Structure 1
Amino acid sequence: MSEDNLIGLAELIEQVKRELLATSPDQETDIPFMSVDSVELELQVMVKKEGKGGVKIYVLELAGGGSRDDVQKVKVTLSPLVNKETLLGLYRKRHPERMQEFVDKSIEALTKNIDDGSTLGDQF
């Protein structure tokens, strides 16, 4: 595998964070009724010693190269710094006129597959 094609662990994590935090294309009219509690990445990485004692960690492709000896498995869990209640409070403060629509769309999304008259609680 060419070093030009290697992706650093920090670069991958930064890209995942950017994609998770990206706003929707129509952020003024879309209502965010879902949030991410945490994301767990399980990666195969190659650790390489660089000049002057530095260490670089590269993420391998799925069918990635490298011998079995130099491939390590790493689990990384990303969690938001702000909890759902705080985000909901901020949304309520910024868009008080849209809170009822927010609640309605959230309930609709949660109960979408329940069409037999049962409640959400009956499904669990």
Structure 2
Amino acid sequence: MASVTRLPHFCGDPDNISLVGQSAGAASRILPLASKVPLFKRLACLGGQFLALRALPAEAHEDIYTRAVQRFGLGDLSPLERARRLASLSRQELLDISFLPSCPIIDGKVCTAVPSFWRL
């Protein structure tokens, strides 16, 4: 199992981890199943479809970020100022950029590949 720091008042067993997810939470919990290091023992998915939440490589995420920066005219800001501005977007502003996908990233650690029905 992955190394987990034991919290003094939690009294949990770091070698006996169960995850539960509903809807998008369920779909995102399936992605770590492709990890080479076992991260948990049990998984309960309540709804959700991981094939609808396709993980994308870092290059695709860079393109999504670039389009968001262009959409909000943040190209002249420093990376820190961009991050602050993007983090402060209102609900309506986020709805206005719904054409930009929000997908997990294939990071090579937790999500190493896109799971499929044949490779779980």
User: What is the TM-score when the length of structure 1 is the normalising length?
Assistant: 0.24
User: What is the TM-score when the length of structure 2 is the normalising length?
Assistant: 0.24
The structure that is strand-richer by fraction is: 1
The structure that is helix-richer by fraction is: 1
